[in-house]
Amino acid sequence: MNGVSFVASRNPVDQAHIDPVIQVQANFASIMPFGFIRSLNNPEIIYNTERQWFGETFDGAAQYIEMLHGNKIKVMLKPQIWIWRGEFTGYLKMSSEEHWQELEDSYSKFILEYASLAQSTKVDLFCIGTELEQFIVHRPKYWEKLISEIKTIYKGKLTYAANWDEYKRVPFWNQLDFIGVDAYFPISESVTPSISEAREGWQRWKEEMEGVSNTHNRNILFTEYGYRSMDYSGKEPWQTSRDQNNVNLAAQANLLTALYEEIWNESWFAGGYIWKWFIDHEMAGGEDNDRFTPQNKPAGMVVQYYYSDE
């Protein structure tokens, strides 16, 4: 899977939005409709509302999938939760049994609705959740039951997107088809890591991933991976802060090159989805941009080179 994380927009997708995905040689796209929660201890998921951007809704996801499928690009449907102010979803945790049950009911309604969309649109892969560690730790029986329910609706392949420091502890990999990892592993402490240094930084994580893959007899899938185009971007690749950073296009390109060289052809590896890819390609990224997207940066050529190599 040579994938892009295709970011929801306020508009429907047209052919001009899909052409750059084809040009970068991607054969998969991750579609990410959103549900919203007001705080880390609030059990209600609000979704599919008038106030959301089109691409974040049920109809929007369906339209994006249809356009991608029409261009022979396969899809992973990956419904996500956004907590107000961008709080980390891994900390979502209720303070009472009553609230836990409300959250379970709310999450089931949300995810099963999208499971039915996954089935009706015949997507190749459905992601049952993203970075929800505390929810899983505290309610493992719920998740086992939820996966069984999803399987009665959706007949394709399943994964869960675990954070890079969480995936080893997820208890239900044997119920899914891929071990999903949001692969923001710390790789290098340098301002601009060289390719060889970044490759070296992958060694311990490769060993760990291969071990987890062998234990569960499942391939690893990078449900998200990527680096910002800024100084020290291999140090804490999960950092999303809006603070102004020194743009560093070489750091991003080198880190991606090292990832492809070290990981992409491993026998236990299934592929991944680069974070992130915006639908308005002309307006996205660029050489003054310090964010994750590789669009209109040297990193974009790196992605295209390795994605065309398959």
Q: Would you kindly state where each structural domain of the chain is located, as residue ranges?
A: 2-307
Chain mean pLDDT for the chain: 97
- Burial (0-12, 13-18, 19+ Cβ within 10 Å), 244: exposed
Predicted TM-score (pTM) of the model is 0.96
Whole-number Å distance between alpha carbons of 304 and 275: 14
Whole-number Å distance between alpha carbons of 71 and 2: 15
The answer to whether 260 and 15 are in contact (CB under 8 A) is: no
Q: What is the pLDDT of residues 147-192, one digit of tens each?
A: 999 999 999 999 999 999 999 999 999 999 999 999 999 999 999 9
Measured in degrees and rounded to the nearest 5, phi and psi for residue 130 equal -135, 120
Question: How large is the average pLDDT for residues 249-275?
Answer: 98
Q: Distance between terminal CA atoms of the chain?
A: 10
Look at residue 9 and tell me whether its pLDDT is greater than 80.
Answer: yes
| pLDDT of the residue at 85 | 85
Question: How large is the average pLDDT for residues 46-73?
Answer: 96
| pLDDT of the residue at 279 | 96
What topology is assigned to 2-307 in CATH? Answer: TIM Barrel (3.20.20)
CA 33 to chain centre: 12
| pLDDT of the residue at 241 | 78
Whole-number Å distance between alpha carbons of 113 and 251: 40
| pLDDT of the residue at 33 | 98
Look at residue 206 and tell me whether its pLDDT is greater than 70.
Answer: yes
C-alpha torsion angle, residues 201, 271, 163, 185 (rounded to 10): 10
Q: What is the pLDDT of residues 235-246, one digit of tens each?
A: 999 988 777 679
Look at residue 310 and tell me whether its pLDDT is greater than 90.
Answer: no
Among 273, 277, 279, 309, which Cα is nearest to 295's? 277
Look at residue 15 and tell me whether its pLDDT is greater than 80.
Answer: yes
Task: Provide the sign of the torsion angle of the four alpha carbons 190, 227, 303, 19, taken in this order.
Answer: negative
| pLDDT of the residue at 245 | 78
